[in-house]
Amino acid sequence: MEKMPKGTFSILAISPSSKLMGVAVASGAISVGDRVPHARPRVGVAATQAYTRVFYGTEGLKLLARGFSPTEALNKLLAKDQDKEKRQVAIMDFKKRKAVFTGAAVPGFRGELVGEDYIIIGNLLSGKKVIESMAEQFENSREDLALRMLEALRAGSKAGGDIRGEKSAALIVVGSESVVLQIGVNKHPQPIEELHRKLETLGK
C-alpha cells in the first residue's frame, strides 16, 4: 500500500521577457527538490507531485525538447500511467504553453491555478486560499523571477500551506543556455525562509 503523500505546493513561471523560467516548491516531505521540480534550459519546467512519479518531469522535458507541446507531452505520459488519477502534474515551455493535470485520487484540498505567466498546483493543503494567495502575490510582485516565486511560496505558507507544515523547499531557474539558479532546503523547521536566506547569500 502506498504511503499517503505529504502536502506540496508549487509554482511554475516565466519572466516577462520570456528569457527565464523557473519552478519553486515547498512540501511537508523532506528533500522535495529531489523529486518534484524539474527544469531544462531552452526547453521548460515541470512539477510532479501528490503520489509523485518522477518520470513526468524527466520524460516530460525530453518530449518538449523533441518538439512536443506541454499538452501533447502530458497526454503521452498520462496514457502510460495506470495510476494517473493519483498524480498532480504541471508542465510549461518557453513559448508560455501550459498543461496541468490533477487526478481524482489526489488528496485534498487539491487545486490548480493557471495565469498568463504561471501555473500553481497544490495538494493536501489547508484550503484554496493557499493557491489563491500564491497567485495574488506573484501577480503583484515586481521583483526578479526567483524572488517572485519565493514570495509566492511564502504567501502560500502564510495562508495555511501544507496542513501539517512544510519541511523542505526548492527553487530552480533556467535560461536559454544554462541553469541560472538551483537551491534547496532538505529538512528545516522553516524551509521557505531558509531558502530565502540562501537566495540572499547568493546575491540573486
Digit-coded pLDDT (tens) for 112-141: 999 999 999 999 999 999 999 999 999 998
Dihedral angle sign, alpha carbons of residues 13, 70, 42, 16: negative
In tens, the pLDDT along 143-199 reads 899 999 999 999 999 999 998 889 999 999 999 899 999 999 998 999 999 999 999
Is 102 domain-assigned? yes
Is 123 domain-assigned? yes
Report pTM: 0.95
CA distance 18 to 148: 15
E strand or H helix that includes residue 122: strand 118-123
For residue 147 the three cell numbers come to 524572488
The count of domains in the chain is 1
CA distance 23 to 4: 24
Is 67 domain-assigned? yes
Is 3 domain-assigned? no
For residue 165 the three cell numbers come to 507544515
Q: What CATH number is associated with residue 133?
A: 3.60.20.10
User: pLDDT class for 201, splitting at 50, 70, 90?
Assistant: confident
Is 2 domain-assigned? no
Range of the domain at 181: 8-202
Is 1 domain-assigned? no
Dihedral angle sign, alpha carbons of residues 79, 101, 29, 149: positive
Say if residue 101 is preceded by a cis peptide, omega within 30 of 0: no
